[in-house]
Amino acid sequence: MKRAALYLRVSSVDQHPETQLHDLRQMAAQRGLEIVNEYTDRISGVKARRPGLDQMMADARRGKFDVVLVWASDRIARSVKHFLEVLDELDRINIEFVSFREQIDTGGPLGRAIVVIIGAIAELERNLIIERVRAGMRRARLEGTRIGRQPLTLDHDAIQRDRCCGQSIRQIAKALRISTATVQRVLRKPTSRAQPPEAMAKSA
């Protein structure tokens, strides 16, 4: 009986992998596979470094299982480069890759070819989505719509003056509802010299 590892990934902590887990356990039973470990990540697929995936690959190198079952090919990665790196390494250490949704099995050459094609299509789709978002942002800018936060307006002289009057950086930041780092950055910049009220009264 071949030993199987299940890999599951959801995009955020608000999602749950139970659906993926049920389907993969059922598929393992139908194929007569013994599940020896289950790995789960709750993280975006665009990140190549993932604790669950990293642990699974480390165990694969130690020969702890013979087959990797995933619910869909995009659970491994959304980058063709990273996807193929994982598949290449699994192939080098004689571990099969099986996807439930696409019904792909890399145990044969046809399955390997299909995986490459699907990975390329998935990356193309993602790039098209990104380009549509960028095009929408460009159109919004051309129409005069501001993208992102409103710029922060600071009274540099007032900050300098409050500091000269003995207020702490924390007090100034709290009064203006800005960070202490912003206050420190303003204080480091050369501005018109702010005088305390006593000095201003004498000069008058």
Q: Is 112 exposed, middle or buried (0-12, 13-18, 19+ CB in 10 A)?
A: middle
Give residue 204's pLDDT.
45
Residues serving a catalytic function are 11
* Most distant CA atoms of the chain, gap in Å: 94
Domain boundary among the residues 105, 124, 143 is at 124
Give residue 22's pLDDT.
92
Q: CATH number, domain at 83?
A: 3.40.50.1390
Q: Specify the number of domains making up the chain.
A: 2
C-alpha dihedral, 166 to 170 to 175 to 178, nearest 10°? 130
Range(s) of the domain holding residue 174: 156-203
Please report whether residue 143 resides in a domain: no
Domain boundary among the residues 78, 102, 124 is at 124
Residues 186-200 pLDDT 10s: 888 765 444 444 544
Indicate whether 119 and 169 sit together in one domain. Answer: no
Q: What is the mean pLDDT of residues 117-141?
A: 80
Average pLDDT, the chain: 80
| 53-57, 109-113, 120-124, range with greatest mean pLDDT | 53-57
Radius of gyration for the alpha carbons in the chain, expressed in angstroms and rounded = 28
Indicate whether 17 and 86 sit together in one domain. Answer: yes
Residues 11-22 pLDDT 10s: 765 567 788 899
Site of tokens 């480390």: 58
Please report whether residue 68 resides in a domain: yes
Domain boundary among the residues 100, 124, 148 is at 124
Separation of CA 160 from chain center: 40
- Cβ neighbours around 92 below 10 Å, total: 9
Indicate whether 178 and 101 sit together in one domain. Answer: no
Please report whether residue 129 resides in a domain: no
